[in-house]
Amino acid sequence: MKVVIADQNLQGAEEACKEFNKQGQAAWAVQADVGDWESQREAFEIAVDRLGRVDYVFPIAGITERPWNTKQPSGSGFVKPNLAVLDVNATGALYTCSLAIQQFRNQEPGKYGFRGKIKTGISSGDFYDKADAKGLLVTIESLLKAFENLLGDCETSGEAIEILPGDDGSKIKERPEYSNEKCKISCEMVEERTYNAFKALELKAN
């Protein structure tokens, strides 16, 4: 097993690598600011160069919740909010997932049929509770409709992206194989809605 550890604290990443390298070079440390696309891209390119093939990606960088809207002194004007939590925990994680997905698409399936797997450390349960309490929770039906609107006239790529709750994480895999029956049902529901959307567009065009 070979590992590349990316962290803003390069010294900390190098210390972690020492545990892997006791029996020879098996881990490399690289510095990265996860909230910055260019920094992440450069770090990921180094990882690909060191590893050749990337089988697993773990976007686990995160910072704790903090006040985002500071109380400015009276009459001092407007103060930019601190969105660091979103920059790292949300945008940073999406940057990592995007890099991983792009790399997986360029790889052949491995021994078990996967091009690669993503395992995030994002915990959104607290977000769900707070959003639901305020009536802000977006329903799955609304998300599906958003995907239907985004599809346009694109062609099916033959890939399936699973976003599963719990510990299953996200995976790029070949259809029609799915991790479990619930995922299969969800994907079939999306396909059915997508098909109906295309048919509606055809009827409208004619």
pLDDT in tens, 135-185: 444 444 454 555 555 544 444 444 444 444 444 444 434 444 555 666 666
- Residue 75 in this model has a pLDDT that exceeds 70: no
What class does CATH assign to 1-122? Answer: alpha beta
What is the pTM for the complete model shown? 0.59
Per-domain residue ranges of the chain: 1-122, 128-206
**CA-to-CA distance for 129 and 137, rounded, in angstroms?**
9
- Count of C-beta atoms within a 10 Å radius of residue 162: 19
Residue 146 has phi, psi (to 5 degrees) of -65, -40
Residue with tokens 């940057």: 95
DSSP H/E element including 84: helix 84-85
**Residue 77, by phi and psi: left (phi above 0), alpha (psi -120 to 50) or beta?**
left
Angle of helix 140-151 relative to helix 181-205, nearest 10 degrees, comes to 50
pLDDT in tens, 126-142: 444 544 444 444 444 45
